[in-house]
Structure formats: structure tokens, C-alpha cells
Amino acid sequence: MLRAYSFAKTAPASARAKTSSPRDARAPRDGRLRARSIARARSNDARASVERSNEETKEDMTGVNRRAVLGAVAAFAGAGAGAARADVGNYLANLLVEKPPPPKREILLPDLIIEPYSREDGCRATSGASKSKAQIEFAQYIAPIIEDNIDLTFGEYFRLALADFGTFSVVGKKNGMNGSVRFELDRPENAGLKKAFASIEKIKKAVDAKTEQPISYADLIALVPHFAARIQFRKEYVEEVGSDKDYEFLFIGTNPFLGAKVRVGRLDSNEADPEGLIPLNGGNAEELLAWFRRMGLGPNELSALAPYLYEDPQKGVDILRQDGTCSRLLDVYETQRILGKRAPGPAVTIIKNLKQATDNCIPGGPLSIAPAVLDPPYVSYAFIRGGGELPRVGAYPAVPGSFEKGGSLLAIQLRQAQAEARAAKEAAEQQ
């Protein structure tokens, strides 16, 4: 400030004269404002020109150009619809054309490998349930063989079975259903049984010829009455009704493979059972009741089976009439027998009591047969792998082809399809 003051103070007059006035200082700013106004005006003129050009373009589009665009769009849409109709027509036409089936996939399974196992090793490597299942499958396999060779009545086969299991004693679980009756046919109480045993021998030969293990006499003597009963009941039903259309439905309880299935695995004895254990030769009602109680049975079983104790059906009924309890039970069963040709009541009762006796009156009791037995009969063992099967040791019925047919259902079907494909391929190559 001091310097400026001194400068202003000492400046010459000419220098002071050159300083501009306030009006002169505003001149440059006015020029800039004027330039801005001119630029803004020119910009507005350009914008207005563009807008006029757009308006003219719009006016042109409303005329010829717009009609041309709409025509092009319509032509395109029509072409698309025509192509779509053609595609749909081709699709529907192809649906009506019979086409060859697609080629089947080639099944590539490794060959099934079967390694038989010894009984000692196989029985320890498999469960009791699988061995019991194999035995039931064995029984199902031999069932039609038995039915084809039955030539006697149920009563004749039952009396032979009664003579075999009738020696059983529930105390000690000794004697009983063991095939020993084949050594006892000359005893007085077993008179008239040789004919039935000869039929059993014939059936046994037929069964053994088609299995890989022989069936025991004990099992065959126990099984044959079941099938003979069904044959006899069916015959009586048809004679009464005229048709067997509803027999299997009504008498389903007599099917040995439904419900309480038949059991196999009884072993044969090599000698006769003690004498004097069956009081059929001259016995009275009290002796017959004591006989059945010794076997673990009772008046219900005795009364139900009374008509089959002797060759004369009436003889057993007359003897048991001497006992009041048996007499009342006989009246009940007689009513059932009157209706039995049309209803399954007596048939089911007879077979149920027969099964109870043949299953329980066994040396050692019912636990002497599978699945409680470690190595039951009619079972074969093998280790299988390949062919779609899981590698395992299995128990199979002792019948031909059981190893190949005893796997999983899917694996069996795949192997069959593979075999058919190979056969067809070989036939085509030979042609």
C-alpha cells in the first residue's frame, strides 16, 4: 500500500491521464454477451431446421413409405404362416407313415459263471431263509410230477401217512414221520397199506428221475395226501356244481403253496419204529384219544380225520361216538361234510389237521427240518457271477437248471434277450 501510494503520489500527469474510465471497462464484457446471443440464435435456427426436416419425413411416411412397410410386414407374415402350415402338414403326413422300429441296443453282458460249492461250505455261506426258499421251490417243481402219478384216493394215502406219523411221542420227540412204515407193512394195524405204498414207490421213481437229489419216503408220504385231497375235493365239487370255475377261489385254503406252505426236509429212518404204538386194531374211543394225545394232538384232530382211520369210513365214526366230546365234534364235522361239496369248510379242516400232524409228528419235532437245519436236503449251493448277477453264494433247489434260473428276474430277462439276439445274428449270417 505504501508503494502504491507513493507511486500514485509521484506519478506524472501523463500517466494519470492514461487510466481508463468505468464505461471503457464495461466494453469487453458487452462484446462477449453479444457473441453468446448470436451463437444461441444460430443454435435455435439449426434446431428448428432439424424439426422441420423431421416433420417433412413424417409426412412422407404417412404416405407411400408407410404403405410399403405395412405391405412388407404382411408379406413376411404370410410367408411365415405358409411355411408353418407346410411344416404341420409334413408332420401329420409323417405320423401316418409306417416306420421301421429303431434298432435294438445290443446287450453286452459277461457270460454267467457258475462255480458249484460243496455242501459243507455252501450251507455255512447261506441263510436259513434262502435254504427254506430253495426247498419250497423244490416242492413246487415236483408238485406236477406227483399230481400226474396219483392213482388212489385221499383216504388210502392218508392211512399210509397215519401209520408213519402215528408212532410219534411228543415226550422226547421220538419216532413219527420218518418213512419207517416201509418196514412195518406186515403189522396188523397196517393191513391193506401195501397198495398205497406201491403207489408211493411209483411216484418216488418219477420224482427222482427228474431231480438231482432223491426225495425221502417220509416227505413223499407226507406230501402226496395233500395233492390227493385237492384232486378228490375238486372232483366232488365239479360233480355237484358242474364246473370248476370257482374252485381255486373257494378252496384257496387247500392250496399247499399258499398260506401255511407245506414243508419238506424229513429224513428217512433205516429201521422200523417200535411196535404197539398204534391202537387201530381193536382200539376203543378212549384208546384212540390217548393215542392222539401222546402225539400232541387232541379230539378236534381225531374227529376231523375219523372217516379216514379205517378202510370203512363209518367204522372210525362209530368208535368215536362212544366219547361225548368226540360225538359233539363229529356232529359239527358231519354238517360241514353235507355242505362240503359246495363249500371249502371240511376240505380246509381236513388238510389243516393233516398238515399239523405231518409237520409236527417228526423225530426231533418241527425244528428238525429247515430253516432250523444247517444242511437241509434238496438244496444245492453255487457261487455265481457275471451275466448281470451280483457275485454271491446262493442256495438253489436241487433240480436241473436251478443255478441259471435262480438269479434276479432282470438278469434272467437280459440273458434271455442276449441269447435270442445271438441266435438271430447267427441265423442271419448262415443265410
Tell me the pLDDT tens digit for each residue of 407-420.
778 778 877 887 88
Residue 244 has pLDDT above 90, yes or no: no
Highest CATH level, class, for 134-281+344-368: mainly alpha
- What is d(CA 207, CA 220) in angstroms, rounded to the nearest whole number? 10
Higher pLDDT, 221 or 128: 221
Q: Give the pLDDT score at 419.
A: 80
At residue 66, the pLDDT reads 60
Mean pLDDT for 172-185 is: 94
- Whether the pLDDT of residue 39 is over 80: the answer is no
Between residues 3 and 181, the one the model is more confident about = 181
pLDDT of residue 174: 92
The per-residue pLDDT for 10 is 44
pLDDT band at 14 (very low <50, low <70, confident <90, very high): very low
Share of the chain above pLDDT 90, in %: 37
Q: What is the mean pLDDT of residues 314-341?
A: 84
Please tell me which of 23-27, 368-372, 380-384 the model is most confident about, judged by mean pLDDT. Answer: 380-384
For residues 22-41, give the mean pLDDT.
Answer: 63
* Whether pLDDT at 84 is above 80: no
pLDDT at 404: 80
- Summarize the confidence of residues 143-166 as an average pLDDT: 94
pLDDT of 104? 66
Angle in degrees, CA 269, 227, 371, rounded to 5: 50
> What is the model's pTM?
0.71
Stretch 281-291: mean pLDDT: 91
Give me the residues paired with residue 389 across strands.
386
Average pLDDT value for residue range 272-286: 92
Q: Average pLDDT of 376-380?
A: 92
Q: Distance of CA 215 to CAs 208, 221, 266, Å?
A: 7, 10, 9
Looking at residue 50, its pLDDT comes to 57
Is the pLDDT reported for residue 162 higher than 90?
yes
C-alpha cell at 397: 433247489
Place 4 in a pLDDT band, splitting at 50, 70 and 90.
very low
> Higher confidence at residue 205 or residue 83?
205
pLDDT > 90? residue 45:
no
What pLDDT, on a 0 to 100 scale, did the predictor assign at position 222?
Answer: 94
pLDDT digits (tens, 9 = 90+) for 93-143: 676 667 777 766 666 778 888 899 888 888 888 888 888 889 989 999 999
Residue 40 has pLDDT above 60, yes or no: yes
Least confident of 179-193, 285-299, 326-340, 392-406: 326-340
> Packing angle between helix 345-360 and helix 324-339, nearest 10 degrees?
130
Whether pLDDT at 151 is above 70 = yes
Q: How confident is the model at residue 2 (pLDDT cuts 50, 70, 90)?
A: very low
Say what the alpha-carbon torsion angle 370, 371, 374, 376 is, to the nearest 10 degrees.
30
Domain boundaries, the chain: 108-127+371-426, 134-281+344-368
| Distances 257 to 141, 194, 226, 317, 426 between C-alpha atoms, Å | 11, 29, 11, 31, 42
Instruction: Say if residue 24's pLDDT is above 60.
Output: no
pLDDT at res. 418: 79
Between 244 and 269, name the one with better pLDDT. 269
Nearest residue to 174 (alpha-carbon basis) of 184, 165, 183, 182: 165
pLDDT band (50, 70, 90) for residue 260: low
Whole-number average pLDDT of the chain: 80
Confidence check: pLDDT of 364 > 70 = yes
